[in-house]
Chain A
């Protein structure tokens, strides 16, 4: 304790270095090690929090506006598609802003290309070497597009993009034939589908039309990668020190990763070469009142450093947030009751404990959907027969999603009415947006149909009272699901009760994720639980989950229900080509109507994200699409320091009490010892 007292500062429990006290730093955490920070491979949320602060794709999402809107980042404008050869190909001509410079990095100095092993072995960070920079060039984007086909990089979208970018598939085969284990200088191998026009302009040529391509241009897969970085990290001895592009990103963004210890701590620091970017001056109507436009036009980023500490367990993470050592926090199910109160009407407010600390609650609907799927290939629940359709519709009515949200999600979510999420084009609000096969519109809100309506449908399907009308046998259905342990038992019991409402028996086949995936791939499921998190805010990214050619069994696609409907598939082909407008909305309405009638899913939940923000953080607005949020955030370090001090006064008297108790407890021992020493004979 004396040691701690000597550490200085009033808060002994401060986990951060005294050097950072009062600094313009954002404190955050991560629970899982990122697997990849190379933009050609990285596809996970927990990696995007790092990569998207460093790498700059051509486009980004407007931070404040909703529905989500693409705006230029390094591009001059959002590129428009141009059809050529009678629509056989589409060309995107992209202009990038001049004068954008890379972060300081040793890769930009030629003297660092021939380092000895001894030099590399001595390095603890690449930034110990002299650094240089250069201007962003159109070639860097082209280089990255070529990397999608690199045989050793395993880009998750490489094969997918090969279907669209002209020549990418052939390019991958060509690179594979090189059979090289070292650095492949992709500049030496031209790719047909990308063309450099000048230093700040390039073109991408696609097969046919793919209007959703612009959304991909906002992802790190299309961020620039300088060839120098690959050459630098390809030196012998670099990989043994974990100095790879996969772990040390090199970008043009507002931050650079200067400390990379995925086991414990990752640190982003302001990129001194960053050009600066104005904070948005437009947003939603409520944004001005919420103070989100107070910094309009000011140059970003506002924060100098971001320190991410690894926190694998939720209890220490939560307590550190309450002590003021993390600036924001998600709310786990264990902490929900401590943080949030849900009224009978479903309104959420903070508990007095949180309010007293000045914490703000931030909620946002995620662009995700959680559903219960019926395997279309299953002979009982699948297929387009009237019997199976009515059976699925009956179960959809009986399965009370609202109750599920209330019990198992603390009310954090809304019942889905179809495959499309709110805030995505094509989603309809209000009466016209409800699923009329499951809900009635009563008193200005949707009300689930009665269980009698479900029973009637079940009887029409040939299962009156939950029994097969022909054989008299009870209908037993099987749900395949991944369980996380005994905690899921209550949820599974609840699932059974939903089916029991119709006198149906539900057998739960709990399994691990690997086996579950295998079952969906081979079609060995009947009902299953799954979800989808949108890649981009376009209805195509949801509706394709029910597109026939995406069938999981037939093509290993994302249509896990293996749903097939010729009209739906034809409309999907049409819809994805249309610009968002009245005609597209009409097509989407019809598609949604088809799938509601066929009911290949029980439309489950669109979850809500709840997060807590300390009073010293400003400009925080949830954005499910923009992962480059750090540059918008602002902290008040003086206020934070004052609050931390107030909340973390060390209480030392219990230590004194423990010491006194120990001394007192030693008294009978000492007396006993003396008595024994004085005894003439010892007990045996």
Chain B
């Protein structure tokens, strides 16, 4: 298994280089180093000298990908791409364009992201599986039919609607929780109730339908028929056999997102004023802060690769037939 993990980690290197290259290309198609300088220096009284000075200080005065004026390897290394990318692989993210240390920001902001994403993930998973099993249990009845209708209806509604509607009803009309904000420690709880409830509700439609499909597929298998023929109660069949065997496809979708929970939610964090990494990424895109965008995309890629690896490893735990070689 160790050899497998090492091999997968090595595979990740070219993937990360590729992701970095694509991020770099996409960013600089839209923004030039001059645009970045102007964004940081403001719009008033910005002279060409000030722009050149800003670029030189941050290394944006070099060619983007190929330095034909340099000698030998320098043609590739004395470029913005190389100089800005190579440090990422040592997890040295440097400073944002506003001079704040990116690693410090990530360390500080991943906890609020996690504080929201983790309960949404866990509670959402429990609710979705429960509801899906409920529908599977009552398959082909009016309860199943209306359950599916409800799921489709809930899937069709934008997350933004849930957020704005939830804020309006629960916080504005009923005055039950703060409409937005965040605080450290246990004081964060009162701010997390509403986004968690909304996050869970918003995910019920798609999540439950997906799990229902998985359960129904399992329920049509021979071993389920055998269990029923033995006279097992339907609840026992469902919870003891169907759920266990449906865990493999569930794990496929679930384990891969666990590392990504650190990155937070772009929309919820903005609307609920939660200072997490999702909101950090949005801010960086709006501020044309390439240093932060690059760092966040890199971390996202690393976490995604880690999630895929974890998924593969988790197969071996839930399915004895799977061996990693």
Q: Enumerate chain A interface residues (CB-CB to B < 8 A).
A: 1, 3-4, 7, 11-15, 17, 33, 35-36, 43-44, 151-152, 154, 156-160, 239-242, 244, 246-247, 261, 263-264, 309-313, 315-317, 319-320, 322-323, 325, 512, 514, 517-518, 535, 556, 558, 648-652, 654-655, 668-669, 672-673, 676-677, 682-683
- CB A523 to nearest CB in B, in angstroms, measures 15
* B residues 164-186 touching A (CB-CB < 8 Å): 164, 167-168, 171-183
> A341 CB to closest chain B CB, in angstroms?
22
Contact check, A316 vs B167: say whether CB atoms are below 8 A apart: yes
Report the minimal beta-carbon distance from B207 to chain A, rounded to whole angstroms.
19
User: When chains A and B are docked, how far (Å) is the Cα of A157 from the Cα of B41?
Assistant: 10
Q: Is B230 an interface residue (CB 8 A)?
A: no
A651 touches B173 (CB 8 A): yes
Return the contact of A156 from the options B35, B45, B190, B279 (Cβ within 8 A).
Answer: B45
Q: How far is the CA of A261 from the CA of B276 in the complex (A)?
A: 12
Question: In the complex, which residues of chain B have a beta carbon less than 8 angstroms from the beta carbon of A558?
Answer: 44-45
Give the contacting residue for A319; candidates B40, B98, B103, B167; CB below 8 A: B167
Task: Decide if A316 touches B271 in the complex (CB within 8 Å).
Answer: yes
User: In the complex, which of the residues A156, A240, A261 has the most CB atoms of chain B within 10 Å of its own CB atom?
Assistant: A156
Asked whether, in the complex, the Cβ of B175 is within 8 Å of the Cβ of A649, the reply is yes
Asked if A672 and B143 sit within 8 Å, CB to CB, the answer is yes
A157 to B43, CA, bound (A): 12
Q: Is B141 a contact partner of A13 (Cβ separation < 8 A)?
A: no
Pairs across A and B, CB under 8 Å, 21 listed:
A15-B180, A43-B42, A154-B54, A156-B42, A239-B101, A264-B273, A311-B273, A312-B270, A316-B167, A322-B172, A323-B179, A514-B38, A517-B35, A558-B44, A651-B174, A651-B176, A652-B174, A672-B141, A672-B143, A677-B233, A677-B234
Candidate in B41, B47, B54, B189 with the most chain A CB atoms within 10 angstroms: B47
Q: Is the CB of A17 within 8 A of B143?
A: no
Task: Quote the shortest CB–CB distance from B137 to chain A (angstroms).
Answer: 7
| Contact among A4, A320, A512, A535 with B177 in the assembled complex (CB-CB below 8 Å) | A4
**Extra inter-chain contacts (17) besides given A650-B176, A677-B233, CB under 8 Å:** A11-B175, A12-B177, A12-B190, A15-B179, A15-B180, A17-B183, A33-B98, A35-B40, A44-B42, A152-B57, A239-B95, A316-B167, A319-B168, A319-B171, A514-B35, A556-B46, A558-B44
CA distance A584 to B74 in the complex (A): 60
Q: Are B101 and A35 in contact (CB under 8 A)?
A: no
Question: What is the predominant secondary structure among interface residues of chain A facing chain B?
Answer: loop
Q: Quick check: A669 and B279 within 8 Å, CB to CB?
A: no
- Contact between B104 and A312 (Cβ–Cβ < 8 Å)? no
Complex interface: chain B residues within 8 A of A309 (CB): 181, 273
Q: Which residues of B contact A246 (CB under 8 A)?
A: 98-99
Closest CB of chain B to A145's CB: distance in Å? 17
Q: Which residues of B contact A11 (CB under 8 A)?
A: 175
Complex-state Cα separation, A235 to B291, whole angstroms: 24
Contact residues in B for A650 (Cβ distance below 8 Å): 174-176
Q: Which residues of A contact B140 (CB under 8 A)?
A: 683
Report, nearest first, the 10 A-B pairs whose CB atoms are least far apart.
A263-B275, A15-B178, A316-B180, A15-B181, A264-B275, A514-B35, A651-B174, A35-B98, A159-B47, A316-B179
Does B272 lie at the interface of the complex (its beta carbon under 8 Å from any beta carbon of A)? yes
Q: Which residue of chain B has its CB nearest to the CB of A653?
A: B174
Question: Chain B residue with minimal CB distance to A1?
Answer: B176
The distance from the CB of B153 to the nearest CB of chain A, in whole angstroms, is 16
- Is B290 an interface residue when CB atoms closer than 8 A count as contact? no
A156 & B193 in contact (Cβ 8 Å cutoff): no
A654–B98 touching, CB < 8 Å: no
* Residues of chain A lying within 8 A (CB to CB) of residue B228: 682
**Contact B233–A669 (Cβ < 8 Å):** no
Given A240-B101, A263-B275, A672 and B138 touching (CB < 8 A)? yes
Flag if A154 contacts B53 (CB, 8 Å). yes
- Nearest CB of chain B from residue A634's CB, rounded to whole Å: 25
B193 touches A4 (CB 8 A): yes
Q: Does B72 contact A (CB under 8 A)?
A: no
- B49 CB–A CB distance under 8 Å: yes
Measured CA separation A264–B272 after assembly (Å): 11
- Which residue of chain A lies nearest to B164 when distances are taken between CB atoms in the complex? A315
CB distance from B117 to the nearest CB of A (A): 16
B162 interface contact, C-beta 8 A: no
In B229-260, the 8 Å CB interface with A consists of: 233-235
Contact A263 B280 (CB under 8 A): yes
Q: Is B283 an interface residue (CB 8 A)?
A: yes
Q: B78 an interface residue at 8 Å Cβ cutoff?
A: no
Chain B residues near A315: list those with CB within 8 A: 164, 167, 271
Report if B212 contacts A (CB, 8 A).
no
Q: Is B7 an interface residue (CB 8 A)?
A: no
The CA-CA distance from A320 to B177 in the complex, in Å, is 11
Question: Are A13 and B275 interface neighbours, CB within 8 A?
Answer: no
Question: Known contacts A33-B283, A44-B42, A242-B104: does B179 contact A310 (CB below 8 Å)?
Answer: no
State whether A156 touches B182 (Cβ < 8 A).
Answer: no
Give Cα A312 to B283, complex, Å: 10
Q: In whole angstroms, what is the CA distance A15 to B38 when docked?
A: 37
Residues of chain A within 8 A (CB-CB) of B234 are 673, 676-677, 682
> In the complex, what residues of A have CB within 8 A of residue B270's CB?
312-313
Chain A residues with Cβ under 8 A from B279's Cβ? Answer: 263, 312
Complex Cα–Cα for A179 and B99 (A): 19
Given the interface pairs A3-B190, A156-B46, the reply to whether A13 lies near B176 with Cβ below 8 Å is yes
Given contacts A35-B40, A159-B50, contact A669 B177 (CB under 8 A): no
Chain B residues with Cβ below 8 Å from A322 are: 172
Query: Across the interface, do A668 and B183 meet the contact criterion of CB distance under 8 Å?
Result: no
Residues of B near A7 (CB, < 8 A) are 190
Q: Closest chain A residue to B282 by CB distance?
A: A312
